[in-house]
Amino acid sequence: MDYKKNVTSCLVSLLGEHLSEQQINELLETPKHPSYGDVAFPCFTLAKLFRKPPAAIATELAENLRHPLFDKVEAKGAYVNVFLNKSAISKQIIETIVKQQRHYGDLSLGQGKTIVLDFSSPNIAKPFSMGHLRSTVIGNAIANIAEKCGYRTVRINHLGDWGTQFGKLIAAYKHWGDENKINENPIQELFRLYVKFHEEAETNEQLEQEGRAWFKKLEDGDEEAYRLWKWFRDESLRDFNRIYELLGISFDSYNGEAFYNDKMDRVIQLLEEQGLLSESDGALVVRLDEYELPPCLIKKSDGATLYATRDLAAALYRYETYAFSRALYVVGHEQRLHFQQVFSVLKKLGFAWANAMTHVPFGLMLKDGRKMSTRKGRVILLEDVLKDAIALAKKNIAEKNPNVKNEDEVARQVGVGAVIFYDLKHERTNNIEFSLEDMLKFEGETGPYVQYTHARACSILRNAPSPVTDHIQGLTDEGSWEIVKLLAAFPNIIQNAYEYLDPSLIAKYLIDVSQAFNSYYAHTKVLTEDEQLHSRLALVYATTVVLKEGLRLLGIHAPEEM
């Protein structure tokens, strides 16, 4: 429940002729100090309307603002300050969470609607680096949040499994490859060949020609080229799936670029039928002057199709297969122009559903202030980072709680959670500087801090008389009230995270809840035997429900012991 709605509805009944519900809601503030109440309404906006001083308007409103959940309403200067009935509201919110459990915060925004999400999408035969982490965990979290809002989701891993780079890789394998080495360690060996090709190509121009020739063979269905390509793809996917399993992430489709090879002619035919193709230096383009965009290149002068052609084919296929209400592309911000062009071409083709397509950009994962580059070998492997994080988590657990059950499983949950949370706590569009040290801190604004708060709350409940959710009364102390207000905000946070497509709103919220709970725990003896014992325990239980569900939405586990 959102207790601010009570204040809004009362103000609408008094001011509805002058301000809309949305305007009133946007004006409401949360006072910085409890002595000014729980919700404040500034009257400056009304001064011109009523031709009265704001303070006089505040006094009149305060006299007429009444609701069973308001303890007191007073005018303070130009503000109307509302003091809520802590006992009634805390009881209502705690009981709601206890009753709804993990379904607390469920929304029905997307009932009967489908969202397709294109995310992760690594390139075959290249290692899964820290650079791929962002799309993978942001996309997964947005999918979880969308499901929480009632949508059906289709998670698509649009693998980079086609293109000139495969010709280069085949050429590199033919020159320097060793089948046994690839079988032993496929990604590492294929990556070594890929880097070696580009190093050698700097002084040997013929290599680039060989690479293009092998890719032409692949496109023409050459048996050897296809066999090598499929081998590289299968080995890569096996390797990727090991990492996805570690991250706890799965997909509904692995249809990559190669899947659309036989679907692009239809796109070109549609564009021809509608007279949208123009010739430019021998290439075929769609002009997008009315959108103030450069032309979208559909077919090169040598007849080769491009990313845009594939993405147009993919969009058509996905709409016809899934009848989506919305399609999200979780891809770095450097692809902004590409998606503007693709969506604009679909609009020109007359597809109304093109308006439901959204590019969800994000900042880069930087190393020493520079973009990571696979081609130059400047890359940090995600699997190495995850293994380091798990090892450090295991070390910390052994020091702090050597008797913890399922030590390996908890270490995995904490280590992997630390890496995911480090990414998601940053606003989606910001760049992130890679820092293993910051990522693996177990204090401060980190995943392990939130997980530890959840485990600490679980440990209180284990020591409590059972059952802990009976005889709930209202709580009125400031420590409880801070937690209650935060718990009440959870559904709104989820809705905002979906609307802004930004999981960092949930990550930051979980930090706030954890800090409020730890402050409460430091000043309150929860297990004291008195008439409010069960209510305090129910508050602790409600906190565990929200922390666990919030972490789940981010793709992170919540251990009960740490």
Find out whether the peptide bond into 467 is cis, omega within 30 degrees of 0: yes
Owner of token pair 């059906």: 152
- Please give the average per-residue pLDDT across 185-196, as a whole number: 90
User: pLDDT band at residue 376, thresholds of 50, 70 and 90?
Assistant: low
- Please give the average per-residue pLDDT across 526-535, as a whole number: 91
User: What is residue 14's predicted lDDT score, i.e. its pLDDT?
Assistant: 95
User: What distances in angstroms separate CA 32 from CA 4, 35, 37, one per listed residue?
Assistant: 16, 9, 9
| Paired sense of beta strands 152-156 and 114-118, if any | parallel
User: What is residue 301's predicted lDDT score, i.e. its pLDDT?
Assistant: 82
* CB distance 120 to 243 below 8 Å: no
Dihedral of alpha carbons 205, 211, 216, 220, sign: positive
Tokens at residue 158, please? 């649009």
User: What is residue 126's predicted lDDT score, i.e. its pLDDT?
Assistant: 84
User: pLDDT band at residue 441, thresholds of 50, 70 and 90?
Assistant: confident
* CB distance 416 to 244 below 8 Å: no
- Please give the average per-residue pLDDT across 469-498, as a whole number: 93
First to last CA, the chain: 32
Domains 3-84 and 382-554 fall in the same CATH topology: no
* CB distance 335 to 311 below 8 Å: no
Domain range annotation of the chain: 3-84, 163-248, 382-554
The beta-carbon contacts of 469-472 under 8 Å, at least 24 apart in sequence, are 469/98, 469/534, 469/537, 469/538, 469/541, 470/534, 471/534, 471/535, 472/91, 472/94, 472/95, 472/98, 472/534, 472/535, 472/538
- Please give the average per-residue pLDDT across 76-93, as a whole number: 96
Distance CA 168, CA 45 (A): 65
In this model, does residue 103 exceed pLDDT 70? yes
CATH 3.30.1360.70 fits 3-84, yes or no: yes
User: What is residue 243's predicted lDDT score, i.e. its pLDDT?
Assistant: 94
In this model, does residue 217 exceed pLDDT 70? yes
- Please give the average per-residue pLDDT across 149-166, as a whole number: 95
Give the residue from 157, 149, 68, 164 showing the smallest Cα distance to 114: 149
As a whole number of Å, the CA-based R_g of the chain is: 28
Distance CA 110, CA 118 (A): 18
For the chain, helix (H) and strand (E) counts, in that order, are 22, 13
- Please give the average per-residue pLDDT across 519-541, as a whole number: 94
User: What is residue 292's predicted lDDT score, i.e. its pLDDT?
Assistant: 97
Distance CA 57, CA 78 (A): 8
- Please give the average per-residue pLDDT across 537-559, as a whole number: 97
What CATH number should be reported for the domain whose range is 382-554?
1.10.730.10
User: What is residue 129's predicted lDDT score, i.e. its pLDDT?
Assistant: 85
Tokens at residue 262, please? 């036989």
User: What is residue 304's predicted lDDT score, i.e. its pLDDT?
Assistant: 66
- Please give the average per-residue pLDDT across 517-537, as a whole number: 94
In this model, does residue 377 exceed pLDDT 60? no
The average confidence (pLDDT) of the chain is 93
User: What distances in angstroms separate CA 154 from CA 327, 414, 452, one per listed residue?
Assistant: 9, 28, 32
Q: What is the DSSP letter of 431?
A: -
User: What is residue 375's predicted lDDT score, i.e. its pLDDT?
Assistant: 57
User: What is residue 374's predicted lDDT score, i.e. its pLDDT?
Assistant: 58
- Please give the average per-residue pLDDT across 57-74, as a whole number: 96
Query: What does residue 60 show for φ and ψ, rounded to 5 degrees?
Result: -65, -45
Give the residue from 386, 375, 10, 407 showing the smallest Cα distance to 196: 375
User: What is residue 74's predicted lDDT score, i.e. its pLDDT?
Assistant: 97
Q: What is the DSSP letter of 396?
A: H
Burial 361-396 (b: 16+ CB within 10 A, else e): bbebbebeeeebebeeeebbbbeebbeebbebbbeb
In this model, does residue 186 exceed pLDDT 90? no
- Please give the average per-residue pLDDT across 71-95, as a whole number: 96
Distance CA 389, CA 451 (A): 15
Burial 472-497 (b: 16+ CB within 10 A, else e): bbbbeeebbbbbbbbbbbbbbbbbeb
Owner of token pair 């008389």: 465
3-state SS of 164-211 is HHHHHHHHHHHHHCCHHHHHHCHHHHHHHHHHHHHHHHCCCHHHHHHH
Give the residue from 374, 325, 329 showing the smallest Cα distance to 124: 374
Distance CA 124, CA 161 (A): 5
In this model, does residue 443 exceed pLDDT 90? no
- Please give the average per-residue pLDDT across 182-193, as a whole number: 89
In this model, does residue 404 exceed pLDDT 80? yes
In this model, does residue 85 exceed pLDDT 60? yes
User: What is residue 131's predicted lDDT score, i.e. its pLDDT?
Assistant: 83
User: pLDDT band at residue 369, thresholds of 50, 70 and 90?
Assistant: confident
Amino acid sitting at position 534: H
Percent of the chain with pLDDT over 70: 98
SS3 call for 17: coil
Tell me the per-residue pLDDT of 488-508, one tens digit each, with 9 for 90 and over: 999 999 999 999 999 999 999
Give every strand in the sheet of 365-367, ordered side by side. 370-371, 365-367, 432-433
**H helices of 336-475, where?**
336-348, 382-400, 407-424, 436-439, 447-462
User: What is residue 169's predicted lDDT score, i.e. its pLDDT?
Assistant: 95
Tell me the per-residue pLDDT of 315-344, one tens digit each, with 9 for 90 and over: 999 999 999 999 999 999 999 999 999 999
Residue 45's H or E segment, with its range, is helix 44-50
Dihedral of alpha carbons 429, 430, 435, 441, sign: negative
